[in-house]
Chains A and B, each alone.
Chain A
Amino acid sequence: MNDNVTGVRSLSNSNSMVSPAKTYTPLWCKSNYSFLEGASHPEELVDSCKNLGITSLSLTDRNGVYGIIRAHVRARDLDIHLIVGSQVSLQNGSDILLLAQNQEGYSQLCQLLTNGQLRSHKGECRVSWEEVCHHNPGLIALWIGESYPIKSTLSENYNSTFILEQLKSNFEDRLYVLLARHHHAEEPLREIQLRELANKLRVPTVAAVEVLYHVPERRRLQDVLTCIREGVTLPEAGQLIRPNDQYFMKSMDDMKRLFADDLVSLERTREISERCNFHLGEIHYRYPLERLPKGKTSIQYLEERTFEGAAQRLGDKFETQIPQLRKELTLIRELEYEGYFLTMFEIVEYCRRQNIICQGRGSAANSAVCFSLGITSVNPTQVNLLFERFLSRERAEPPDIDLDIEHDRREEVIQYVYRKYGRSHAAMVANVVRYRYRSAIREVGKVLGIPATSLDQLAKQVSHGNWNGTLFRNTGLDPENPIIRHLNILVREIQHFPRYLSIHPGGFLIGHLPIYELVPIENATKNRRTVIQWDKEDVENAGLFKVDLLGLGALNLLHRGFDLLSRYRQKELSLATIPRDDIATFDLICRSETVGVFQIESRAQMAMLRRMKPRSYYDLVVQISIVRPGPITGGMVHPYLRRRNREEYVTYPHESLIPVLKKTLGVPLFQEQVMQLAMVAADYTPGEADQLRRDMSAWRFSGRIDRHRGRLISRMVKKGIEKKFAKQVFEQIRGFGEYGFPESHAASFAHIAYATAYMRCHYPAEFICALLNAQPMGFYTPATIVNDARIHGIEIRSVDIRHSRWECTLEKIEDTSGKANIKNSNVGTKHKIFAVRVGLRYIRGFGKKDWDKLELAMSKAPFRDIQDIVQRSGINKGKLESLAVAGAFNCFGKERRYSIWDILGTKEYYQSPLLLKMDNPLPKFKSLGDLETICWDHQTSGHSVQGHLLKPRRSELTAQGIPTARELNRMSDGDTVKYVGLVISRQKPKTAQGVTFMTLEDETGFVNLVIWKQVFENNITLAKKLYYMGVTGKLQVGEGLVHLIVKSIWNPALDDQLLYLQSRDFR
């Protein structure tokens, strides 16, 4: 081109010179809480403002205020003025920014968003401009018009002039037209149109950039997020992704250059900022007051119910507890928490009325009021917990009560809360699902166009800390390939980014005023659930408090057990009436016969039971807390055990710590003790201790705990504590941060653990029956539960079409000295009066509806034979075939193969309503062998009552010199042995530094394996793959514990039928 260029054509309007301001306010910022749109954390946006010298920021996440609390906390720390707002998508396809000027405005914004969210499907929000006008009080509106990406979604009757006129008449001087510049080709024309409109209607303009990330380097991630949202790959994305990287937080200088021709609009950002004075700290939250009897205040009513309950529950000790109750009630009144207690009381009362077992957990266990109200069954005098840890005037933090409810009836309670308080006053707390390595690999990789099978391979191998080149090479990917390099970087960047909003397992926010005035409410995926836009951390940071209604399988187990006792033995028992300190129950616990016992059934707990030998309720509290990563990583377990066994003196680092550590023999085991340590040893104020607690729970992500290090250690040393111990205390705090367990929770759990152990000890048949009916729950599969029951002398009867019901039932054993007697059984014969009949719910593929059909047909007349069942039940042949395979038709005197043949040859009712005669010659089938029978049982029901899978192979194994589990557990320390068993669990705890623990099972019991990292890696394929495993190793025997330290793993020559078995891997 040789033509001389005469000038560059300007695409913007003429300049209006004004005096330049020092700073501006970014008014249009979206964090990564605008799901799959923003590419920076709210905290990063605030930090970026601080670094650029910007003093105020408006966070306007799309259709919500999802990220506002996080931004608020950071802005408060950095002294940045945070404007609360939202980008609202209108039904006509345009967008508007709404910013809260004051509390009323915030409330209006939340209401508007709630309306839009509740009428839409999850993830959508439909709001009309008329509604925006209606909710205008206290809000500033910034008109965007059609936002990017410009889609053809603008409705046909969309008339921007008319809409702006209406907005103007409602918002008056609180309406602005937003001029956004990103060096985009279409923008100049759009800006001209917007300016014309603004001039015509006399609406001021304001300058902005749509901030989607805090630095330009995040542009790539923003592109990827857009592609994930739109379900396309990057090469397919086209104009769905932004045309350039100009959507970052700009400095004042950048903005002055960008709006050099219109500094007035830029100056107006400050004007808007000054008009928005709302601060999130202004949110006023009050707990709802229950409907009170006439003439009574809530505290009077609470006092009345408390004393009434105390008199009933404490009996003779009532008088001695009155001062404590009065003290607690005074504090509750001062902090105005009476509504909260009455609400919990009301929910517990509802559960009681509906015969739903529930129990309060958490620091509620520290309160005599909660005990008196029946919220918890744990008597605080029993565990000697301090009420101040539950409620403290200094900390002024909300009380923490988790209500455990039997898991299959939790939904009833949730719906009751919705009914009672209404959907406007009660909503569930959200749970933000975030990107982790696996999800990130799959979704980012898909966007980059990497084959799904390769991504699956990569995702299966990744774990925290191994995201590196070796991993790529192991999965056949070249880490130097540009696409893989991008994957590597982007997967790191996207970690912890919000992915979608889910629902908290049981957290409810209940308010005296409508919840939608505090935070928008939206629909959850689950039908009939509504959820707020904040998660539990946000709720806590906003100073609100929630009620946790959590499902617990063990309560369901107990309920079923109590019902069976009532039905078959006419004995009424409940959590409150179970006899305390039962010697036989503690004997059972000490023998670690705890399969199915709540909290103390895992392999690690069983091993610890033999060392701890708990003999009291409080021993159980310690037992539950000690097998946790906190005490393990903090090195607390062995000192405690030595002191308990009197092998070591109980010493305290400083006399001031004696009250804190006395009950755990000078060793901190509970989370509360760690906080108290900080308060007593390092003179932390309650506020500092509370901050420590928060930092402890967050240290994994941000390392915030480290800022306490110097303060804690120096203060402890100053107080006369040895530096070595001070450092050790700090490490304990660090360990507890992630995994610590509070004593108050353990106290409640110990109560349930004791109750389940009591049931197992005294009513084993009822216990097993209830446990099988409460599945899935707990640590073990039905196969292991059945095997363990059989070992302990419980007779389990297989499914039978004439005797089985839907659930497992009890059947009286006619001859009590008969076959249920098994060697080594610890069950007294007086208890052996019932056998457990397995229910048809255990037949895979056979559903409740099928059972209903069967029950209906049986109610008319008992079944004569298989043909009769096929004809009358209306159940399809495939399902009946499953019953035949499980042996349910053996009662008709036919072997399983003949039953199958009969079913295959019978026409169903709809095919032929007339009975068909089957007079064809009968083929001759082979009889089922023992192993085959057991395998068929496992295939159809996941367990076998005929025996363990290894029993038919025992003689073969014995001939090879392989002992049973029982024999192995009687061998001596240091013996080298070979063993073969079925894998029932594989575990690789993070705290174990690469050691893998496995439990193998045979017909006589369990064998615990310890596999060192190197051995595991040398045998990785076999160790991960085999269900039927052979191992060689050395026995380690001590303190009543037997571990097999594995040296090699081998594949025993096995029958192909055993291959389908499944182990419980890496829990």
Chain B
Amino acid sequence: MGQAGIMPKSAVVRTACINIWDLPLQILLRNHPEWCKKPVAVVEEEQPLSPILWLNAAAIRAGIKPGMRYSSALSLDQGLCAGTISDQEIHFTIQNIHMVLDHFSPCVEPSREDPGIFWLDASGLNLLYSSLKNWASQIQSSILRLELKASIVVGFSRFGTYAIAKGKKAMVVMPTMEVENYESNRVHLQHFQLHSKLKKQLIKLAIHTVDDFLALPQESIVQHLGKQARDFYHFAMNEQSLPLQPQKLPESFQAQIELSRNESNSQSLLLRTSQLLIPLLNKIGNKGQVVVALRLEFRCENGTRCYHRIQAAEPTLNAKILLELVGLKLETITFIFPVVELYLEAEGVCFTDKKRSLFRENPIRDKSSAMRALARVRVEFGTNSVLIAQLKKGHLPEARFEWYRFDRLTIAKPRSVSIRSLIRRTYTHPRAVGDLLLKYPPSPISSHEYLINGGWWCREIRRNYRFVDTRKGETLWVYYDHRKHSWFVQGCVE
């Protein structure tokens, strides 16, 4: 093959590839260590007809193959354990690995197409770690601490290291470019992230290894096998070997100040906050973002810390609005010990003109003012101070509605009510009836009562409800709880 003549651009340029093989499967096994000796599969969904995406060796030994339906796989091995792994979980794990790898190389590039693959610039690191083998071993140990296994190949080219890392579950340092080429050309094409249709076509044509593939006439590849095959060909020929593209972790907007004079006065603290906030807003604005919320952290003289989250009525860069909310919050806080350090972090969000215009469309009512007012209430009385009730279709009085926090104000559309029923006020928690007439259970149920029972699948409930009049002229809404063997007042009738 034509690889032999290609030499690395510089004799000292070394590239490493790390392959966390079968990453979703490893995450699943990390979540379920009790499954380690059983056949395990990662499925797309928790459904019998869901296809299998990843398998461990025990499952493969049982004859199960990726792509099979879970139900078909079960007929091969009824002990097959299966689970799903979300994209977020994979993303989160990749970020963790990335953070670990950042300690070992200034240049870490995660693969976009193949999750679990990372390229690292290893040039010159043999000087720092005594040898590249030692460097690789330390990386391997760090990944193992994350309860993950990886193959690490230190070599010379992107494709070479990638192919070997895909084909071998081991840690290898390539001595020369020729050895790397030889090894990478022997790797089976099934290990690569190619479209399944292309893989099947290649198998039919008896093209099994990288070497077989590179023997195809280059000019026919795109016509017969498509663009992906052509791209892979160029990749395998190291013709598109770009320098590594290090990826940085997301930037956070934060600032802190150590107070030379211990402060406990809210006005002084507000002033200090404004000193931190204004440059922070400039920085966020320059990045094309706006502030959704602020996170204020105070460190007091005695070492204690307190945190507060302040949410804006709408995303903004307006310092006045934000400081007004901070001021309100500070008024609610009493510092026993003076504050010695102030920390401010802003949560930013990209904000386009289109998004901004959505907030401007409010011709009839000044919804923004209402939103600002609610933001002030929230700041002053806590996040849970602004709630909205939503009707639910449960049987128990307490299951007929639910309180929700809400962020978006909508215009009320009251419906006309044809039949007015009794207005009942439900107590937050039913009150126990202590004595007198209602201490005996109702048996059998009388025509004055209605009965609610159910929930047998989790916690069985059985209540006999009735309305009773008191000497004070009140009408109470009471029930007998058969599980607790006592009467309770659910609420009262107006």
- B435:A920 contact, CB within 8 angstroms: no
List chain A residues, Cβ under 8 A from B453.
Answer: 243-245
- A9:B475 contact, CB within 8 angstroms: yes
A982 → chain B, closest Cβ, in Å? Answer: 15
Q: Which chain A residue has the least Cβ–Cβ distance from B421?
A: A189
Q: Does B489 contact A (CB under 8 A)?
A: yes
For window 168-187 of A, CB contacts with B under 8 Å fall at: 181, 183-185, 187
Q: Does A122 contact B (CB under 8 A)?
A: no
Q: Which chain A residue has the least Cβ–Cβ distance from B35?
A: A476
Q: Which chain B residue has the least Cβ–Cβ distance from A448?
A: B457
B206 → chain A, closest Cβ, in Å? Answer: 4
- B451:A5 contact, CB within 8 angstroms: no
Looking at A254-262, A592-600, A634-642, A1006-1014, the stretch in contact with chain B turns out to be A254-262
Q: Which chain A residue has the least Cβ–Cβ distance from B473?
A: A6
Mask, A2-20, CB within 8 Å of B = 1, is: 1111111111100000000
Q: How far is the CA of A901 from the CA of B43 in the complex (A)?
A: 34
List chain B residues, Cβ under 8 A from A937.
Answer: none
What would 14 A/B residue contacts be, using CB atoms closer than 8 Å? A2-B434, A5-B470, A183-B445, A238-B395, A244-B452, A244-B453, A453-B47, A476-B81, A885-B204, A897-B206, A920-B219, A926-B206, A1025-B63, A1025-B76
- A457:B74 contact, CB within 8 angstroms: yes
Q: Does A709 contact B (CB under 8 A)?
A: no
**Chain B interface size range:** 35 or more
Q: Does A905 contact B (CB under 8 A)?
A: yes
List chain B residues, Cβ under 8 A from A7.
Answer: 468-469
List chain B residues, Cβ under 8 A from A925.
Answer: 205-206
List chain A residues, Cβ under 8 A from B71.
Answer: 456, 460
Q: Does B62 contact A (CB under 8 A)?
A: yes
Mask, B449-477, CB within 8 Å of A = 1, is: 11111101110000001111111101110
Mask, A1007-1030, CB within 8 Å of B = 1, is: 000000000000001001100000
Q: Does A332 contact B (CB under 8 A)?
A: no
Q: Does B241 contact A (CB under 8 A)?
A: no
B476 → chain A, closest Cβ, in Å? Answer: 7
A494 → chain B, closest Cβ, in Å? Answer: 15
Besides A8-B467, A238-B392, A920-B220, 14 other A-B contacts (C-beta < 8 A): A3-B476, A8-B466, A8-B468, A11-B467, A181-B447, A188-B450, A189-B421, A245-B453, A260-B447, A453-B70, A456-B48, A900-B204, A905-B220, A1025-B76
Q: Does B223 contact A (CB under 8 A)?
A: yes
Mask, B205-229, CB within 8 Å of A = 1, is: 1100000000111011001110000
Q: Does A777 contact B (CB under 8 A)?
A: no
Q: How far is the CA of A858 from the CA of B302 in the complex (A)?
A: 94
List chain B residues, Cβ under 8 A from A187.
Answer: 450
Q: Which chain A residue has the least Cβ–Cβ distance from B77?
A: A1021
List chain A residues, Cβ under 8 A from B435.
Answer: 2
Q: Which chain B residue has the least Cβ–Cβ distance from A193?
A: B419
List chain B residues, Cβ under 8 A from A829.
Answer: none
- A5:B468 contact, CB within 8 angstroms: yes
List chain A residues, Cβ under 8 A from B466.
Answer: 8-9
- B74:A460 contact, CB within 8 angstroms: yes
- List the 9 closest A-B pairs by CB distance, nearest first: A238-B393, A3-B470, A456-B48, A905-B224, A183-B451, A239-B393, A920-B220, A904-B224, A926-B206
Q: How far is the CA of A922 from the CA of B80 in the complex (A)?
A: 46
B379 → chain A, closest Cβ, in Å? Answer: 36
Q: In the complex, which of the residues A240, A452, A475 contacts B46, with contact meaning CB atoms closer than 8 Å?
A: A452
- A483:B457 contact, CB within 8 angstroms: yes
Q: In the complex, which of the residues B76, B395, B471 contacts A243, with contact meaning CB atoms closer than 8 Å?
A: B395
Mask, A210-228, CB within 8 Å of B = 1, is: 0000000000100100000
List chain B residues, Cβ under 8 A from A483.
Answer: 457
Which residues of A are in contact with B by a Cβ distance under 8 Å?
1-12, 181, 183-185, 187-189, 220, 223, 234-235, 238-241, 243-246, 257-258, 260-261, 448, 451-453, 455-457, 460-461, 474-476, 482-483, 486, 885, 897, 900-901, 904-905, 920-923, 925-926, 1021, 1024-1025, 1059
Q: How far is the CA of A245 from the CA of B455 in the complex (A)?
A: 12
List chain B residues, Cβ under 8 A from A246.
Answer: 451
List chain B residues, Cβ under 8 A from A476.
Answer: 79, 81
Q: How far is the CA of A922 from the CA of B448 in the complex (A)?
A: 92
List chain B residues, Cβ under 8 A from A486.
Answer: 456-457
Q: How far is the CA of A12 from the CA of B201 in the complex (A)?
A: 78
Q: In the complex, which of the residues B47, B76, B78, B470 contacts A452, with contact meaning CB atoms closer than 8 Å?
A: B47
Q: Which chain B residue has the least Cβ–Cβ distance from A181?
A: B447
- A1:B47 contact, CB within 8 angstroms: no
Q: How far is the CA of A623 from the CA of B177 in the complex (A)?
A: 76
List chain B residues, Cβ under 8 A from A243.
Answer: 395, 451-454
Q: Quick one: which of B82, B392, B434 has the most chain A CB within 10 A? A: B82
List chain B residues, Cβ under 8 A from A1025.
Answer: 62-63, 76-77
Looking at B107-115, B250-258, B436-444, the stretch in contact with chain A turns out to be B436-444
List chain A residues, Cβ under 8 A from B445.
Answer: 183
- A460:B78 contact, CB within 8 angstroms: yes
Q: Does B394 contact A (CB under 8 A)?
A: yes
Q: In the complex, which of the residues B392, B419, B449, B476 contacts A1, with contact meaning CB atoms closer than 8 Å?
A: B476
- B444:A257 contact, CB within 8 angstroms: yes
Q: In the complex, which of the residues A239, A456, A922, A1059 contacts B74, with contact meaning CB atoms closer than 8 Å?
A: A456
Q: How far is the CA of A188 from the CA of B421 in the complex (A)?
A: 12
List chain B residues, Cβ under 8 A from A482.
Answer: 457-458
Q: In the complex, which of the residues A3, A452, A920 contacts B223, with contact meaning CB atoms closer than 8 Å?
A: A920
- A923:B216 contact, CB within 8 angstroms: yes
A572 → chain B, closest Cβ, in Å? Answer: 47
Q: How far is the CA of A240 from the CA of B393 in the complex (A)?
A: 8
Q: In the complex, which of the residues A6, A223, A235, A453 contacts B43, with contact meaning CB atoms closer than 8 Å?
A: A453
- A901:B205 contact, CB within 8 angstroms: yes
A699 → chain B, closest Cβ, in Å? Answer: 32
Q: Does B431 contact A (CB under 8 A)?
A: yes
- B469:A244 contact, CB within 8 angstroms: no
Q: Does B433 contact A (CB under 8 A)?
A: yes
Q: Does B75 contact A (CB under 8 A)?
A: yes
- A4:B448 contact, CB within 8 angstroms: no
- A452:B48 contact, CB within 8 angstroms: yes
Q: Quick one: which of B81, B220, B471 has the most chain A CB within 10 A? A: B220
- A223:B454 contact, CB within 8 angstroms: yes
List chain A residues, Cβ under 8 A from B216.
Answer: 923
List chain B residues, Cβ under 8 A from A926.
Answer: 206
Q: How far is the CA of A914 from the CA of B83 in the complex (A)?
A: 52
Q: How far is the CA of A241 from the CA of B450 in the complex (A)?
A: 16
List chain A residues, Cβ under 8 A from B78.
Answer: 457, 460-461, 474-475
Q: In the complex, which of the residues A12, A235, A904 contacts B458, with contact meaning CB atoms closer than 8 Å?
A: A235
- A238:B220 contact, CB within 8 angstroms: no
